[in-house]
Structure 1
Amino acid sequence: MFDIGFLELMVVAVLGLLVLGPERLPHAARSLGLMIGKVRRTMSNIQDDLERHARTEELREKLKDPYATFLDDDEQKQVANSAAEPDSKQDTAAPSDESKPS
């Protein structure tokens, strides 16, 4: 995510050791880890809530007109069939002289 390499991690660890000292560094690292975990869980919960809300709105729209889903599918099939039919009608309606056996 942040693309932190080993060298950068070592620099941060040495700076943390110099600034905080060996006594407070483990506590600070633990606190930082817990804080990152809380932020990740919060972001995950927010994302789940947004997805749930979007699905709920989609279902509400479908419930307003329950036949709309079926009509849309049927209309799509009719359009696909009508697009395919003109080609087949032209082939069967006017056979060429070459296709007749002698």
Structure 2
Amino acid sequence: MLTPSSSLSSSPLSAMGVPYVIVKSKARLGTVVHKKTAAVLALQDVRSEDNKELATLVSAAKANFTDKYEDQRRHWGGGLRGNKSTAKLRKRAKAAGQTITAAAAAGL
């Protein structure tokens, strides 16, 4: 029911230690509050009989979303070069008499 999203930047909620998750659809979130749909859900009071279930949801949210994707949100890009950059590296490597990988490692 709860699905993580790695496309988010650093959230103020994670900085404050508030557990949060991105839910796949508004209908799935609505089932928590027994409504047709819900866009946002914030829990204030929890009945004592539901406290254990909430604790398991919070621990699952932290383990599967917040902690797991924290490192991935910090890294940008995939190290892939575009056509112009690759052509420029080939030209420099050819002028230096090296291969492209050696030229990239040398910082040409």
Question: One fold, TM greater than 0.5?
Answer: no
Higher relative contact order (CA 8 A, sep 6+): 2
In terms of fraction of residues, the more helix-rich structure is 1
- For normalisation by structure 2, the TM-score amounts to 0.29
Structure with bigger gyration radius: 1
